[in-house]
Amino acid sequence: MIRTILTFRLPAEDVEAVERIYAHHDVLGYSLEQTRGEVSELAVAVDGDDDDDEQVEVVVTATWPDEQAYQEWLDHPRRGAVAEGLPEIVGPVGSARVYEVRQRATARPVADGGRQVDRNLELTSPIADGDLSGM
């Protein structure tokens, strides 16, 4: 499994326009419908940044079963059209990174009102075989 993270630093007044474009064109949902993507999210920093109060960090994250699934989105013929108008607002992406997910925990509600936490050490993790001796 991989996670992609796109990071933008925008003037605060442009954040709402970016959110509108993503919502209007259903960028997140469309990318999942057209590929094997699993989850996609847009998040806006709310905790401030001491370095620059006029810029706001926006991140777009997605999880994919493998790099080939992400490449399906990059190669999709309508990918650019889906986010029409976005480059004019965000300019160049601050960073675009691909990460291998090695450990994952998820929580879900269960019938008795509690929560079940599922833990998964991905097979690519060096400690996936349970060897925690280096801790």
pLDDT tens, position by position, 6-45: 998 888 888 998 898 889 889 899 999 999 999 999 999 9
Distance, C-alpha 40 to centroid of its chain? 5
Q: Cβ(62)–Cβ(74) under 8 Å?
A: no
Report the candidate in 74, 6, 7 with the shortest Cα–Cα distance to residue 36: 74
Domain borders along the chain are 2-101
Place of tokens 């925690």: 132
Percent helix, strand and coil across the chain, each rounded to 5? Answer: 30, 35, 40
Per CATH, the number for 2-101 is 3.30.70.100
Residue range 79-104: average pLDDT? 77
Query: Could you give the percent of the chain with pLDDT greater than 70?
Result: 76
Strand partners, 39: 63
* Residue 100 to residues 34, 42, 46, 71, 105, Cα–Cα distance (Å): 22, 19, 26, 14, 15
pLDDT given at position 44: 95
